[in-house]
Structure 1
Amino acid sequence: MSTPSRNTPSRLSVERALRHAVADGIIGPDRPVAGFVDVQGVRDSVAALHAAFAHVPDVLHTFAVKACSLVPVLRLLRETGMGCEVAGPGELRLALDAGLAPERIVLDAPAKTRTEIREALALGVALNADNLDELDRIGAVRPPGSASVVGLRVNPQVGGGSIGAMSTATRHSKFGVALRDPGARERVVDAFARRPWLTRLHAHVGSQGCPLPLIAEGLAAAYRLAEEINERVGHRQVTSLDLGGGLPVNFADDTVAPTYADYVAAVEAVEPGLLDGRYRLVTEFGRSLLAKNGFVAAVVEYVKDAGGRRVALTHAGAQIATRTVFMPDAWPLRVSAHRPDGSPKRTPVVRQDVAGPCCFAGDVVAHDRELPELAEGDIVVLRDTGAYYFSTHWAYNSLPRPAVYGCAEADGRVVFATIRRAQTMREISEESGLDQADALLGSFAAERSLP
């Protein structure tokens, strides 16, 4: 959600949405933190993705559920024609509950159990094996005539980007079969030759911090391997390529850069045949579809000075902006200051920290940032947080998950729909074993307390 710019689709402005949210009472002193999703912005981002690949004959675009694991959001994406990429049984359950057909779901978990593999195959969900041993597991339980497309993830080992944790094609990455290790390529080709049901190759180079040429080179390596496998077996056994996700997001301003069109151009520049229809394609974009279509709003509870610097204590910290708090240089966020009514603050700019509610010193989402001077009751907005932030809560200090709302223009005003209600204190206690409160008392504890 942003102010439109030359390269940015027109979106509902943060300021307008925030003013209406305050007026409707869904953010304020008694509801001090909430997340917001721009519904039309999501639709526009998906449309941009489809447009960039319009010339590709056969492609399934899936959304990486980890980027926004909220059922109403997944259902909205399904409505726009997206499938889902899931990284475990919980995300698979969310995708199914959102109404996704199994054949439009891809399971990529790197540590699948035998039970998870069996259930995915029974449903007809596509799955990508992470390693050669997993292929043995799949072969042992795969029923004859299974509808599931089965692939193998390979690591092209083309190197990393500026954020190591987001780079999945490094020499020692935990993901996939490392293609440049001695003998690995031959073992992969042989694995396909011995398993006619193995028909897909999967590669994912990384996302944030990875430049497009690096991503394209990794995908081209998978394409060349597919060609080699098909030549070795003498027919087109590999019929599809899963390109993963990996479009970085610009967190510096409102501009959308790079775009999906930039991604397609980078891939075609390195390997034109990859998108010519020879292989059915799967994509797994996540952050790039949601990040700029969401924001977090948090009330300033207190303001104080420490060591000559102003510190604003808010209700949005590490429990929401976990990556930003622990890796501020890799995941900086834009922060804007607003009055209690949601309008932009116009007070003099001062250097200040914007901190969260967690009980550790490092819980700061913006360090020494120039902002209009904040005061108690003001509202800060963390921008470009539609992916990963409010949807993937860290339960530190047993802080409640915030409410999340969808917002859209309707009849000249902004309307809101509850995506997820705020977590209650009772629910926090239930998650922390309330129903088993006496489990360690009585004879169980007495027997183990004897010397």
Structure 2
Amino acid sequence: MSFSTEKVARAVRQAVADGLLTRERPVAGFLDVRGVRESVAALHEAFAGVPDVLHAFAAKACPLVPVLRLLADAGMGCEVASPGELRLALDAGFAPARIVLDSPAKTRGEIRAALELGVALNADNLDELDRIDALRPDGCPSVLGLRVNPQVGSGSIGAMSTATSHSKFGVALRDPGARERVVEAFVRRPWLTRLHAHVGSQGCPLPLIAQGLAELHRLAEEIDARVGRRRVTSLDLGGGLPVNFADDSVTPTHAAYVAALAAEEPALLDGRYQVVTEFGRSLLAKNGVTAAFVEYVKEAGGHRIALTHAGAHVATRTVFMPQAWPLRVTAYGPDGTPKRGPLVPYDVAGPLCFAGDVVAHAHPLPELAEGDLVVLHDTGAYYFSAPWAYNSLPRPAVYGCFLEDGGGVAFATVRPAQSAREISLENGADLADALLTGFAAPSGG
């Protein structure tokens, strides 16, 4: 359920001993495999009273094929939002019927490909329904839905709130005439059987999420009443369960989420509708950490600064929105043993060439020195798995770790560290002369 501080200490110590963290390989991500399975089990247990549920992991949270394969083996489906994520889900072994495609800007080609595969698809807007009308083949097995925005408001992080009055996602239900247009869209299309909403993510409280999803349920009832028979057969509730980044505890839980939904609208989970969820961060964030070496320690303007190999390339959101995405940082000696001693404030900075590349400001840590290690906690989702390529720094290695009951730790490579040659090839090395000799000869005149 959580990669606890005690477990992290065991993993870091063994990673150093095994040579997975060295001065030449100074940063890596680690994912607790048993913790991931326990988180998935807790999700299924929370929804045990709901007769028909598909839990689709949001691939964007950790788009690494071995991780997706682990989740498929644990009983998850997969939610994807691009052709790349769809390819990852297929390569990870998810059956098309257990994949849900969401995106606000699907091309006709993407829609056609999804329909041919039988992947479920949620249209973002009414114009997209017209595209599906034209592209949908006879006998198409895809479950097809429409995303709506209940416009219930914002959480504490505006950029993560998808149910504001002006959100780019879905059909805005409270705009004049919009609700009636949605109902009519279902009346005219017998193949349209799913409603989808995603109220928010980190920073959105459970009552706000529940309020928005209760509105989704009311809309489904209204559609069925207008059609005169059951038309909506499933409700895609999205994801968005926030994560506690303050300590090791897992809160809120998926059980608390289910309780909040039931309290707001008891009929939402009573079995009348199949339920789909799209959780991502809440399953993986607290099961992963990022570890990096300290390269230098210096002072500037009265600030102690630890220059490390973990910066915005592996913690982009934290660097650019530190108040919204604070991370815990702990310190270890060169051998991976937790550091002790009086705490002093450090700016924990990364290696990128811009001044704001700081993952923690005035963070209390034991005295640091060259060769020590820092660990960024709760980075299993949206951090080491989605690196930023600024300064052409290599994507870090990612390892799954299995913490044995007897105290041992075993590792499996999820993604190897990117080499300098791979970085160069990714940036056109095999086309180096393209701008010198790659143009067609000018026409004579």
Q: What TM-score does the superposition give when structure 2 sets the normalisation length?
A: 0.97
- Shift in Å at residue 446 of structure 1? 9.1
- Shift in Å at residue 369 of structure 1? 1.0
Match of residue 40, structure 1, among 24, 31, 34: 34
Is the Cα–Cα contact under 8 Å of residues 28 and 340 in structure 1 kept in the other structure? Answer: no
- Shift in Å at residue 445 of structure 1? 9.5
Match of residue 245, structure 1, among 239, 254, 266: 239
In structure 1, the residue matched to 2:433 is 438
Consecutive unaligned residues in structure 2, runs of 5 or more:
none
Q: Deviations over 1:142-199 (max 9, x none)?
A: 0011000000000000001000111000000000000000000000000011110000
- Shift in Å at residue 246 of structure 1? 1.0
In structure 2, the residue matched to 1:7 is none
Instruction: Give the stretch that moved more between structures: 437-446 or 418-427.
Output: 437-446
Consecutive unaligned residues in structure 1, runs of 5 or more:
5-11
Instruction: Give the stretch that moved more between structures: 71-80 or 341-350.
Output: 341-350
Q: 1:188-337 residue pairs with structure 2 within 5 A?
A: 188-337=182-331
Q: 1:18-167 residue pairs with structure 2 within 5 A?
A: 18-167=12-161
1:3 aligns with 2:4: yes
Match of residue 404, structure 1, among 389, 398, 403: 398
For residue 434 of structure 2, give the secondary structure of its aligned residue in structure 1. coil
In structure 1, the residue matched to 2:349 is 355
Residues in 2 aligned to 1:2 and 1:97: alpha-carbon distance in whole angstroms: 27
Residues in 1 aligned to 2:195 and 2:438: alpha-carbon distance in whole angstroms: 56
- Shift in Å at residue 27 of structure 1? 0.5
In structure 1, the residue matched to 2:418 is 423
For residue 285 of structure 1, give the secondary structure of its aligned residue in structure 2. coil
1:13 aligns with 2:7: yes
Match of residue 392, structure 1, among 386, 399, 412: 386
Task: Note closer, same or farther for the CA distance 1:308–1:40 as it changes in structure 2 (3 Å cut).
Answer: same
Is the Cα–Cα contact under 8 Å of residues 35 and 404 in structure 1 kept in the other structure? Answer: yes
Aligned residues: 441
Is the Cα–Cα contact under 8 Å of residues 3 and 35 in structure 2 kept in the other structure? Answer: no
How many percent of aligned residue pairs carry the same amino acid? 77
Residues in 2 aligned to 1:215 and 1:222: alpha-carbon distance in whole angstroms: 11
> Match of 2:201, as an amino acid?
S
Residues in 1 aligned to 2:362 and 2:171: alpha-carbon distance in whole angstroms: 43
Q: Deviations over 1:41-82 (max 9, x none)?
A: 000000000000000000000100000000000000000000
Q: Deviations over 1:383-406 (max 9, x none)?
A: 000001000010000000000000
Match of residue 165, structure 2, among 171, 176, 195: 171
Q: What TM-score does the superposition give when structure 1 sets the normalisation length?
A: 0.96
For residue 436 of structure 2, give the secondary structure of its aligned residue in structure 1. coil
In structure 2, the residue matched to 1:181 is 175
For residue 278 of structure 2, give the secondary structure of its aligned residue in structure 1. strand
Q: 1:337-352 residue pairs with structure 2 within 5 A?
A: 337-352=331-346
Match of residue 374, structure 2, among 371, 376, 380: 380
Residues in 2 aligned to 1:52 and 1:350: alpha-carbon distance in whole angstroms: 42
Is the Cα–Cα contact under 8 Å of residues 3 and 32 in structure 2 kept in the other structure? Answer: no
For residue 369 of structure 1, give the secondary structure of its aligned residue in structure 2. strand
Residues in 2 aligned to 1:26 and 1:254: alpha-carbon distance in whole angstroms: 24
> Match of 1:204, as an amino acid?
H
Task: Note closer, same or farther for the CA distance 1:295–1:443 as it changes in structure 2 (3 Å cut).
Answer: closer
Residues in 1 aligned to 2:141 and 2:298: alpha-carbon distance in whole angstroms: 61
> Match of 2:299, as an amino acid?
D
Residues in 2 aligned to 1:352 and 1:88: alpha-carbon distance in whole angstroms: 39
Is the Cα–Cα contact under 8 Å of residues 403 and 410 in structure 2 kept in the other structure? Answer: yes
Instruction: Give the stretch that moved more between structures: 267-276 or 346-355.
Output: 346-355
For residue 439 of structure 2, give the secondary structure of its aligned residue in structure 1. helix
Residues in 2 aligned to 1:228 and 1:428: alpha-carbon distance in whole angstroms: 54
> Match of 1:430, as an amino acid?
L
Q: CA RMSD in A?
A: 1.3
Residues in 2 aligned to 1:220 and 1:142: alpha-carbon distance in whole angstroms: 30
